């Protein structure tokens, strides 16, 4: 300190006297110096000072100054308070003024000064070691959060320090050095620290924790913000952060199904499969909440940086579609199907009398989710399936103009139009046509009602129509539509009860009387729909709503259809003979009306859960129910199959499989069409270009696998649409 | 001809060359001895072809076993439309072309022709209508290989070859390819055993995993796959690229090898 003070004093005095000398010799300065191109007196004085004081005795004083200044700054960096601030500034100023290589007068302002030649390199070298040691020390704590905080703190202080002491030319150099050593070289290690040492996975943990444990862990916004800022110091595109963030999100996302499963199990759900409704709803809710959380985080910590949000979106898309890193394992969750189930559930909820939540927000959420799904065609197929079921199984309510049902239909339409916006209307053509069918069914129903009133046809059953164009509805439902027709080849035919036959005959007459139905054929399908019946039991008369099949079974027991008194009995085989209902369906519906505890309309003996061929059924005389209206729920296909009989697949699984194979079939056609389209315009194309082009064209619908594409190419070669070049095996020609 | 074509010279010339009588007059006169040989084996019910019985007899006289690859070469040389059948026109035309009219000559010629094919010496030329009228190109083993597929088609419009037959004929053909490769130096003799075990693994894969029929494209590409990938580096398949245009069955084969750890891992 004393040394510094002495040097500065000397320097000041020297400057002062030089000024006087310069003033006195002003004339000399103006004339002689200019003519001779010598240094100005003042500058000459500084030169002399440098040579005789600072550099005297092999730079002794100069070295000492440099050494002292650096030591002082280092002390300051360590957080010690130093008193020499003023001196440091002054000394550095002085060093800057000491022009090195005092050549001619023109050069002097560009010439290097002592600061640049001697002080700066020494200082930078020293800083490097310091930064290195400093960061190493921090890393050794093995605590990510701590590293971040301290590094950020240090960086801030250092910036101030540099601003204060050092000339602006050094600033960028030093900052660069600091960024490289403290941040760039270390930050990846820090981010990748395991959870216990508070790496990125630790900072992101609350995102999941908040969803499942319902406690509001505070997010590590602070750390992440620092992280963002630190990384932003040296890389504008946040490459590293994005990379690590992505892998973290994917690994978190891939855990979600497990979490969902366990949380469902804790909630008392016994059997949870990866495609049950409960799972679908919970999973999608979870994912949506996850998204919400992570974007909140992005807002708080990453200033909603678009590049980072894009990364987040990609990462989420990856885990939702289940193709993170292991492309071989098929994803455990089938996102398109689950989303469809989810939407199905919500639409059903909405159409019930208690319209609680906001419909709009819900469908928005669904659409948001849809954006993540890559295989849109799979979603469409599933959605169409659910849509059809909703319609066919919906209870007839038009006669009382039920507002709820109207809401349901509006809801369908609303969602349909939103889906249309998202995916384009062509891909939804089938669902839209189905929707049209529904409308025309309504019209036909009301026309029919007018017709019956006008014609006063006696003895008719009230009818609500659901007419579907076979081609537009999912195959799994329409495949056997003909088997119920009368004109079939005479295999197991379905026998409509007499009561209904009159009505049906009358309707057929009505149907074909209009001109518009000339070229359509009409098939009745008892598989869907429901009936309202009034059954008088000894205790009371009930209005019962039940499925068509069950209704037809009940009609067998109605007094009108038998000669005997009320106590008639029928065996299983007799029922089957009288109705012609396929075995699996018949057993299922018999279980619904004879085994299910709340709707035991019939009595079955022996009273077992399973329906056997020689079981006997009769009307349950002691049937009781608290309300007049009774709704018979059909036993689900899965549970109607007794566990002891190890039937390989339940009906649901079969249906899911069918949907899957439909999707696969559809894809084949789409790929073929796309190949032909490309070949038509290109005529000759290389294998890799073709694949690239195909993926580009199809990615809005689904992600075609290379294998699928190759098989399609082979298929087209076989069908002679394409030809492989005779010489060049990677080249295809279009065969017109 | 001018009369009948209203003195339109162009049409008259066309008519002249197209008329059946002119063809007959320009048709080559076949060597009597050659025709006699044909008649010797000819089908009793059909005078324009030799059927399976005749073929068996013919092969016997040529001292070729039916399992000998040379029988395939013969079928290829005579453009046999399918197994055990030779047509009269091709039979006469092909032998006449080389001026051969004796069983002995045929025997010698066939041996030469077979050698030439095997080692792709390109000593013999065939017309190829795809290249233009009268253009000729050398006969190569690949041609014989591709011909085999068509030759094995039994019914009209058959497009697939069932895998058992395919394996039978590979058993016949692939060793020839291996021999050639050893001879021309593209395969080190000490790697021969590896290639042979690859063939076995291919058969196992086709028999137990793939179990489907082969299209002409897959059949034809397998020869290239065998030559360019398997023979080139039987241990590691270095040149294999799953992004290349190999038919999917080869990709599946590669996967099969990898899953069963039959492949030396690429470094």
Top residue of A724, A728, A732 to mutate, by most chain B CBs within 10 Å, is A724
pLDDT band at B108 (very low <50, low <70, confident <90, very high): confident
Q: A–B: how many Cβ contacts below 8 A?
A: 35
Is residue A724 helix, strand or coil? Answer: strand
Phi and psi at A555, nearest 5°, equal -60, -30
Task: Answer yes or no: pTM beyond 0.90.
Answer: no
In this prediction, residue A351 carries a pLDDT of 54
Residues of chain A contacting B, Cβ within 8 Å: 687-688, 691, 706-707, 710-711, 713-714, 717-718, 724, 729-730, 732
Query: How many CB atoms lie under 10 A from the CB of residue A595?
Result: 19
CA-based nearest distance B258→chain A, Å = 13
Percent of chain B with pLDDT over 70: 84
User: A368-386, pLDDT tens digit by residue?
Assistant: 666 666 666 677 777 777 7
Out of A223-237, A286-300, B93-107, give the one with best mean pLDDT. B93-107
Q: Nearest by CB to B245, from A707, A718, A729: name it.
A: A729
* Predicted local distance difference test score (pLDDT) of residue B125: 77
Give the CA dihedral A56, A60, A66, A67, nearest 10 degrees.
Answer: -170
* Residue B266 clears pLDDT 60, i.e. is over it: no
Average pLDDT over residues B51-63: 85
Computed from CA positions of residues A362, A367, A368, A369, in that sequence, does the dihedral angle turn out positive or negative?
A: positive
Give B-chain residues touching A706 at CB under 8 angstroms: 242-243
Which residue out of A685, A695, A712, A718 would a mutagenesis test of the B interface target, given it has the greatest number of B Cβ atoms within 10 Å?
A718
Q: What pLDDT is attached to residue A672?
A: 85
pLDDT, averaged across chain A: 65
Q: How much is the pLDDT for A724?
A: 84
Question: At a CB cut-off of 8 Å and minimum separation 6, what does A652 contact?
Answer: A636, A637, A638
pLDDT digits (tens, 9 = 90+) for A537-550: 666 666 776 677 77
Answer yes or no: is pLDDT of A642 > 50. no
Contact A729 B218 (CB under 8 A): no
**Exposure of B31 by Cβ count < 10 A (0-12 exposed, 13-18 middle, 19+ buried)?**
middle
How much is the pLDDT for A193?
Answer: 62
B159: closest CA of chain A, how far (Å): 7
Express each pLDDT in A13-63 by its tens digit: 666 666 666 666 666 666 666 666 555 666 666 666 666 655 555 556 666
pLDDT of B139 strictly over 60:
yes
Query: DSSP readout, A518-561?
Result: TT------TTS-EEEEEEE-SS-EEEEEEEHHHHHHHHHHSGGG
User: Could you give the domains of chain A?
Assistant: 1-125 (no CATH), 335-354+368-397+413-513 (no CATH), 530-631 (3.30.230.130), 655-734 (1.10.10.10)
pLDDT recorded at residue A398: 39
Chain B: residue nearest A724 by CA? Answer: B217
Among B218, B244, B247, whose Cβ lies nearest the Cβ of A730?
A: B244
> Percent of chain A having pLDDT more than 70?
22
Place of tokens 């299910």: A596
Instruction: Spell out the residues 6+ positions from residue A560 whose beta carbon is closer than 8 angstroms to its own.
Output: A499
Q: From CA A131, how far away is CA A174, in angstroms rounded?
A: 10
């Amino acid at each position: 300190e004393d040394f510094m003070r002495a040097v500065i004093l000397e320097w000041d005095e020297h400057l002062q006297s030089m000024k006087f000398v310069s003033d006195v010799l002003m004339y000399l300065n103006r004339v002689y110096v200019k003519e001779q191109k010598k240094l100005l007196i003042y500058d000459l004085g500084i030169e002399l000072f440098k040579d005789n004081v600072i550099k005297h005795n092999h730079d002794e004083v100069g070295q000492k100054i440099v050494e002292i200044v650096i030591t002082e700054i280092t002390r300051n960096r360590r957080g010690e308070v130093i008193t020499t601030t003023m001196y440091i500034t002054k000394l550095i100023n002085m060093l800057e003024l000491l022009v090195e290589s005092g050549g001619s007068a023109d050069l002097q302002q560009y010439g290097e000064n002592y600061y640049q030649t001697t002080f700066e390199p020494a200082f930078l070298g020293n800083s490097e070691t310091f930064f290195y040691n400093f960061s190493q020390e921090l890393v050794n704590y093995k605590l990510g959060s701590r590293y971040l905080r301290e590094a950020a703190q240090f960086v801030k202080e250092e910036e101030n320090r540099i601003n204060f002491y050092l000339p602006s030319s050094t600033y960028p150099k030093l900052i660069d050095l600091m960024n490289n050593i403290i941040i760039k070289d270390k930050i990846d290690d820090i981010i990748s620290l395991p959870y216990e040492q508070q790496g990125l996975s630790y900072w992101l943990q609350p995102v999941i924790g908040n969803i499942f444990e319902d406690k509001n862990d505070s997010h590590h916004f602070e750390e992440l913000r620092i992280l963002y800022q630190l990384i932003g110091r040296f890389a504008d595109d946040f490459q590293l952060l994005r990379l690590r963030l992505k892998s973290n999100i994917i690994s978190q996302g891939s855990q979600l199904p497990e979490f969902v499963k366990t949380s469902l199990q804790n909630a008392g759900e016994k059997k949870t499969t990866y495609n049950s409704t409960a799972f679908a709803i919970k999973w999608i809710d979870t994912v949506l909440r996850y998204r919400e959380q992570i974007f909140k985080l992005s807002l708080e910590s990453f200033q909603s940086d678009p590049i980072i949000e894009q990364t987040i979106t990609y990462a989420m898309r990856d885990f939702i579609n289940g193709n993170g890193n292991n492309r071989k394992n098929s994803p455990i969750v089938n996102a398109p199907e689950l989303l469809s189930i989810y939407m199905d559930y919500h639409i059903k909820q909405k159409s019930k009398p208690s319209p609680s939540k906001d419909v709009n927000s819900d469908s928005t959420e669904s659409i948001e989710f849809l954006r993540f799904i890559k295989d849109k065609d799979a979603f469409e197929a599933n959605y169409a399936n659910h849509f059809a079921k909703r319609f066919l199984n919906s209870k007839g309510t038009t006669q009382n103009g039920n507002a709820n049902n109207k809401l349901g239909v509006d809801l369908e339409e609303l969602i349909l139009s939103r889906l249309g916006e998202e995916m384009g209307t062509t891909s939804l053509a089938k669902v839209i046509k189905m929707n049209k069918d529904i409308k025309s069914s309504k019209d036909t129903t009301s026309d029919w009602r007018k017709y019956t009133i006008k014609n006063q046809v006696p003895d008719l059953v009230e009818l609500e129509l659901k007419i579907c164009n076979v081609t537009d509805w999912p195959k799994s439902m329409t495949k056997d539509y003909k088997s119920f027709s009368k004109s079939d080849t005479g295999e197991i035919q379905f026998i409509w009860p007499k009561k209904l036959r009159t009505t049906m005959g009358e309707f057929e007459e009505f149907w074909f009387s209009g001109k518009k139905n000339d070229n359509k054929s009409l098939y009745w399908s008892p598989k869907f729909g429901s009936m309202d019946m009034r059954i008088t039991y000894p205790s009371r008369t009930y209005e019962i709503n039940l499925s068509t099949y069950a209704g037809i079974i009940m009609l067998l027991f109605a007094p009108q259809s038998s000669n005997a008194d009320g106590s008639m009995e029928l065996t299983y085989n007799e029922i089957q003979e009288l109705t012609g209902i396929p075995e699996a369906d018949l057993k299922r519906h018999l279980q619904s009306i004879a085994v299910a505890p709340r709707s035991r309309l019939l009595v079955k003996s022996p009273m077992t859960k399973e329906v056997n061929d020689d079981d006997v059924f009769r009307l349950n005389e002691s049937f009781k129910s608290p309300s007049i209206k009774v709704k018979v729920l059909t036993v689900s296909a899965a549970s109607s199959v007794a566990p002891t009989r190890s039937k390989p697949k339940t009906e649901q699984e079969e249906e899911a499989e069918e949907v899957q194979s439909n999707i696969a079939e559809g894809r084949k056609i789409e790929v073929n069409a796309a190949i032909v389209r490309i070949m038509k315009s290109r005529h000759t194309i290389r294998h890799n270009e073709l694949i690239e082009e195909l993926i580009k064209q199809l990615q809005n619908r689904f992600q075609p696998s290379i294998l699928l594409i190759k098989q399609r190419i082979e298929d087209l070669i076989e069908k002679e649409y394409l030809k492989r070049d005779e010489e060049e095996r990677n080249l295809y020609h279009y065969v017109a | 001809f001018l009369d009948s074509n209203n003195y339109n010279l162009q049409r008259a010339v066309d008519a002249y060359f197209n008329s059946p009588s002119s063809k007959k007059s320009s048709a080559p006169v076949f060597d009597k001895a050659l025709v006699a040989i044909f008649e010797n084996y000819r089908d009793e019910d059909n005078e324009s072809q030799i059927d399976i019985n005749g073929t068996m007899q013919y092969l016997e006289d040529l001292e070729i076993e039916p399992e000998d690859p040379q029988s395939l070469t013969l079928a290829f040389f005579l453009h046999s439309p399918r197994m055990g059948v030779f047509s009269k026109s091709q039979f006469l035309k092909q032998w006449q072309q080389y001026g051969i009219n004796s069983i002995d000559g045929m025997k010698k010629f066939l041996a030469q022709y077979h050698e030439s094919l095997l080692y792709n010496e390109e000593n013999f030329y065939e017309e190829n209508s795809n290249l233009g009228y009268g253009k000729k190109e050398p006969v190569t083993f690949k041609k014989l290989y591709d011909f085999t597929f068509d030759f094995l088609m039994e019914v009209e419009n058959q497009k697939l070859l069932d895998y058992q037959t395919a394996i039978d004929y590979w058993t016949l053909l692939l060793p020839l390819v291996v021999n050639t490769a050893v001879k021309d130096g593209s395969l080190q003799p000490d790697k021969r055993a590896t290639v042979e075990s690859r063939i076995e693994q291919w058969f196992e894969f086709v028999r137990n995993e793939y179990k489907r029929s082969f299209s002409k494209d897959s059949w034809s590409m397998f020869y290239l796959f065998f030559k360019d990938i398997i023979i080139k580096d039987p241990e590691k398949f270095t040149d294999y690229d799953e992004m290349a245009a190999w038919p999917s069955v080869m990709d599946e084969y590669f996967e099969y090898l990898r899953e069963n750890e039959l492949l030396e891992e690429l470094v």
